[in-house]
Structure 1
Amino acid sequence: MSAGHDHAHHHQDHGHHGHAHVHAPANFNRAFAIGIGLNAAFVAIEAFYGWKVNSLALLADAGHNLSDVAGLVLAWGGTLAGKLPPSARNTYGFKRASILAAFANAVLLLVAMGSLAWEALGRFNAPVPTQGVTVMVVAGIGIVVNTATALLFMRGSAHDLNMRGAFLHMAGDALVSLGVVIAGALTLKFGWNWLDPAVSLAIAAVIVVGTWGLFRQSMHLLFDGVPDQIDLGAVKGYLQSLPGIERVHDLHVWAMGTSEVALTAHLVMPSGHPDDAFLKDINQHLHDQFDIDHVTVQVVKVPFTQPCQG
């Protein structure tokens, strides 16, 4: 028990001293705080003007933007929980919270787009005249707020699924606001009341297509799937190519969180046990070539466990 705890404690220390993890959290904490502040203020403004000019479109958009605030809070919560230190009861800490947050963000976006599409379909039957100029001005502010917030997360979205969830949520909303402005302008000019719901449907479709990847990937990681960026065949090939290794059994690769990958494997080595340098080289190579941080390998002369299909 105490040995496991010591290992957890050591791993926690390593996390604190690891140079790669020092700068990122502070930047994203600021990004989340700014993003949540901006979007909460925008929701308040939009709801007030929607109530003032009696615009269902603006009130609905304020509700939708409230889901953005929820999405950012989710992503931030996932990031912060993932940084909690491991303990004797949770030896991994809560790293998986970031995967859960990405999944919840994808579900939230898909539900929001479903409700937007439902609302739009209803409006084809009963077109609602829009209070053009007010709606366009408020939606214009929405473009600025959502684009600015999306840009805060752009840097992290390439490497971290949870950040990608926050980025997609914001970028999607900038698109919705842009659609409202264009539809509002054309409706004012030509009186096309059908254009507002048509544009809403088109945007909802675009965002659902964009979000589907996030939904699929986060679901895959929740079930301990091999992360998309890892070529399992190449990992197995590398381990089998090592001198003295006859076979690789029980190879498992999974995501501990949205930015940390773990690997366990049994290496069959009939000639005997290697020294620490051999194992250190494996760790180093897997880190440098495949970005796998948490490696545990067991070396045996004769396999004594039932080989896993993996």
Structure 2
Amino acid sequence: MKKPETPNGTAADQEDAHVSTPLDHGNHDSHGNHGPAGHSHSHGHAGHHHAHAPVAGHGRAFALAVVLNIAIVVAQTVYGVLAHSTALLADAGHNLSDVLGLLLAWGAAWLATRRPSARYTFGYGSSSILASLVNAGLLLFACGVIVAEAIGRLINPAPVAGLAVFVVAMGGVVINGISAWLFMRGQQDDLNIRGAFLHMAADAGISAAVAVSGLVILYTNWTWLDPVMSLLVVAVVVAGTWSLLRDSVRLALDAVPPGVDLQGIRDYLAGQPGVVDVHDLHVWALSTTGNALSAHLVMPAGHPGDESLDGIVLTLRERFSMHHATLQVDLGTTQHRCAMDHAPHAH
């Protein structure tokens, strides 16, 4: 997710921002939604402009990585069978899961650029969250397959052609290293791209370990090293996948995105002229790169005007990375409390 200190409001985003005022009284905005009196909506199409970046910058990266990984899967499968190498076959299986993961992440990144529809009024950005979640699942599933194969080979050892394993695995190191490098630029800011990067980086590490084991087996004939190396690499992959799985689950459950300063947002809104209270503040992820916010501002003096709310909305976008903000202005004469806040709790 984007860090709060990173400005994300482009000129196009700012020009598209729309704030409905009490004069709107139910007029429709550009998305076909009603703008009731006292509500401020910052659509700005930020979810669309912002989501274009991963596809524009990584479309070719996805295509190239998919082609390269398909090639290495074929090579590792063929030579894994010929060399009787469980590690090489396990690496091929892991690479195959990477191909599926890359296709999934690529499709989600493309969906995130689609405009909202009458049914999906927020667009399809959340598909990138689902993709990162499934990618984490694929990684863990692949690790399970590798462990099963490695244990089977430890129980029933077989001769391993060390030289063939070394050569093919080194090819995997190069290809996966290049693929990881293609996604390095965006993996800090986009959980979906991060999933693709982790896939490639993990495969590069696995291939390197397999290459080393092949070289050692060539000179020592320690065939047990082949499955043992697979188990060691799995431990590293699982450790690296845990954070991806954790963040994906949190975003899927509408938790506050990583890096978002919720208290800072509350303090900023509470400090605005005329605001005496802030309640029903909700922040969630629209995608792996875009955030949304809704809040009630209690302003006894009434609506401060479009220019004032425009300024708040712009600051929320630039300082706190809120790409879609909805602010409701309350006079404080009644208890405008969210129904979710009063939902019965399980005992």
| TM-score using structure 2 length | 0.82
Q: Of 282, 290, 293, which aligns to 2:323? A: 293
1:62 Cα deviation (Å)?
2.0
Q: Structure 1: how far apart are the matches of 2:47 and 2:300?
A: 39
8 A Cα contact 1:107 1:215, kept in partner: yes
1:241 Cα deviation (Å)?
1.4
- Structure-to-structure mapping, 1:176-191, within 5 angstroms: 176-191=206-221
Which residue matches 1:305?
Answer: 336
Q: Structure 2: how far apart are the matches of 1:262 and 1:77?
A: 22
Aligned partner letter, 1:181: A
Q: Of 283, 300, 309, which aligns to 1:279? A: 309
Could you say which structure has the higher helix fraction? 1
8 A Cα contact 2:84 2:160, kept in partner: no
Q: Of 239, 254, 268, which aligns to 1:224? A: 254
SS of the residue 1:84 aligns to:
coil
1:309 Cα deviation (Å)?
4.5
8 A Cα contact 1:12 1:85, kept in partner: no
- Bigger relative contact order (CA 8 A; separation at least 6): 2
Aligned partner letter, 2:337: Q
1:286 Cα deviation (Å)?
1.0
SS of the residue 2:106 aligns to:
helix
Aligned partner letter, 1:226: V
Q: 1:23 to 1:234 in 2, by over 3 A?
A: closer
Q: Of 22, 28, 31, which aligns to 1:3? A: 28
Q: Structure 1: how far apart are the matches of 2:236 and 2:160?
A: 23
What is the CA deviation profile of residues 224-279 of structure 1, one whole-angstrom value per residue up to 9, with x for unaligned ones? 00001101111111111112211111100000000000000001111221111111
Q: 1:95 to 1:56 in 2, by over 3 A?
A: same
SS of the residue 2:286 aligns to:
strand
1:117 Cα deviation (Å)?
1.9
Aligned partner letter, 2:190: D
Alignment identity in percent? Answer: 46
- Structure-to-structure mapping, 1:67-216, within 5 angstroms: 67-216=97-246
SS of the residue 1:257 aligns to:
coil
Q: Structure 1: how far apart are the matches of 2:130 and 2:52?
A: 23
Which residue matches 2:36?
Answer: none
Number of aligned residue pairs: 308
SS of the residue 2:28 aligns to:
helix
Q: Structure 1: how far apart are the matches of 2:48 and 2:147?
A: 48
Unpaired runs of at least 5, structure 1: none
Q: Structure 2: how far apart are the matches of 1:60 and 1:113?
A: 9
Unpaired runs of at least 5, structure 2: 1-25, 34-41, 343-347
Indicate whether 1:35 and 2:60 are aligned.
Answer: no
Point out the more displaced range, 185-194 or 199-208. 185-194
Q: Structure 1: how far apart are the matches of 2:123 and 2:75?
A: 39
1:127 Cα deviation (Å)?
2.5
Q: Structure 2: how far apart are the matches of 1:108 and 1:17?
A: 28
Aligned partner letter, 2:132: A
